[in-house]
Amino acid sequence: MFTTLLPQQTPIQSSLPHDLFEAIDGLKRELNAIILAHFYQDPDIQDVADYIGDSLGLSRKAAATNADVIVFAGVHFMAETAKILNPDKLVLLPDLNAGCSLADSCPPDAFGKFKAEHPDHLVVSYINCSAEIKAMSDIICTSSNAVQIVNQIPKDQPIIFAPDRNLGRYVMEQTGRELLLWQGSCIVHETFSEKKIVQLKIEHPDAEVIAHPECEPPVLRHASYIGSTTALLKYSQSSASHSFIVATEPGIIHQMQKQTPDKHFIPAPAANNCNCNECPFMRLNTLEKLYLAMKHRQPEILMSEEIRVAAVRPIQRMLEMSA
Ligand code: 13P
Ligand code: SF4
């Protein structure tokens, strides 16, 4: 699945200390490590992290850190981005199988052919993609800066937008630009049921629907606010509403509830009463695996220097364009 990875072993389960939080703290000092965590991680992991953020915030933090070791509690493309920006640092991912269905929906060979068929197009890729796709891109974006970045590109410049068709469609609406969309999507954000959201709205007439732009148009149509995970968190704090139906991975609710304990957050449900609104990849990371990764200094993110050098350029462009 991850063609840039060299094979290595996931640490063998060894005996765990009584107090994992204290042990992780000790290892953090010993390794001069920073723990970066995405909002979709388990509450325990969020509570042990030095920084919790969305993809843009995490990339900025990874670009600026002077720690020797980055422990990345998120999914593979996020840790890979940290490694692209920090070739000399040890970047650890608690579970190497923590992939992303959206990144996997854009295989490099097929995307290379697609790009070759449109040589006059500039390639803007959502950060949820592999290092190989980044290496084929001109500019990377995240859900928090995609509109801002597309707006900075000359109007007569044709653009390929990959891999998320839902974010692409949303950017088209917001910018009034025609984008050539790669037809990728996220299994988690496609699972939300419009019907159940409508039912919830009837049961909670005062609740505002807030949604991530990776959701499909029928869900986005019900949202009074659409944004990245950080943007949704900030909106839940600043809005006068006291109740929210949250159409993104429910891990974010831990921070929402922590920031405004008096407000009420309802996770948007999946269509068939399953827990498929939880990202199965993010959930592969656990506090135990995080501890073991630090203790054994693996699994480590590795990639070819050729791909890394090609992939760092569009990421730096994004950081400059969204400064
Ligand atoms: P954010 O950049 O909003 O954190 O989104 C990342 C992601 O993977 C959403 O599914
Ligand atoms: Fe990927 Fe979707 Fe999980 Fe985000 S929620 S990491 S896009 S699979």
7-100+281-302: CATH architecture: 3-Layer(aba) Sandwich (3.40)
In whole numbers, what is the pLDDT of the chain averaged over residues? 95
Tallying the residues shown for the chain, one arrives at 323
Q: What is the mean pLDDT of residues 180-200?
A: 96
pLDDT tops 80 at residue 7: no
- Ligand 2 — pocket residues by CB below 6 A? 75, 100-102, 128, 186-189, 214, 249, 279, 281-282
pLDDT tops 90 at residue 3: no
Q: How far apart (Å, rounded) are the C-alpha atoms in residues 61 and 195?
A: 39
Q: Where in the chain is the domain with CATH 3.40.50.10800?
A: 7-100+281-302, 102-187+312-321, 194-267
Q: 137: Cβ below 6 Å to ligand 1? A: no
pLDDT tops 70 at residue 207: yes
pLDDT tops 50 at residue 256: yes
Ligand 1 centroid to Cα of residue 13, in Å, is: 30
The pick from 36, 39, 40, 56 for probing ligand 1's pocket by mutation, whose C-beta has the most ligand atoms within 8 angstroms, reads 40
pLDDT value at residue 322: 92
pLDDT value at residue 264: 98
Q: 166: Cβ below 6 Å to ligand 1? A: no
Helix axes 76-85, 55-64, angle to 10 degrees: 30
- Using only the alpha carbons of the chain, give its radius of gyration: 19
Ligand 1 centroid to Cα of residue 127, in Å, is: 9
Q: What contacts 24, CB < 8 A, 6 or more positions away? A: 35, 48, 287, 290, 291, 294
The closest alpha carbon to 267, from 283, 243, 286, belongs to: 243
Closest residue by Cα to atom 9, ligand 1, is 214
| CATH 2.60.40.10, domain 194-267, yes or no | no
pLDDT tops 80 at residue 4: no
Q: What contacts 173, CB < 8 A, 6 or more positions away? A: none
Top-tier CATH class for 102-187+312-321? alpha beta
Q: What is the mean pLDDT of residues 32-58?
A: 97
pLDDT tops 80 at residue 8: no
pLDDT interval class at 226 (50, 70, 90): very high
pLDDT value at residue 274: 87
Can you spell out the DSSP letters for 242-284? Answer: SEEEEES-GGGHHHHHHH-TTSEEEEPPBTTSSSTTS-TTGGG
pLDDT value at residue 14: 60
Q: How far apart (Å, rounded) are the C-alpha atoms in residues 85 and 89?
A: 9
pLDDT interval class at 273 (50, 70, 90): confident
Ligand 2 centroid to Cα of residue 186, in Å, is: 6
Closest residue by Cα to atom 8, ligand 1, is 128
Q: How far apart (Å, rounded) are the C-alpha atoms in residues 266 and 312?
A: 38
pLDDT value at residue 1: 41
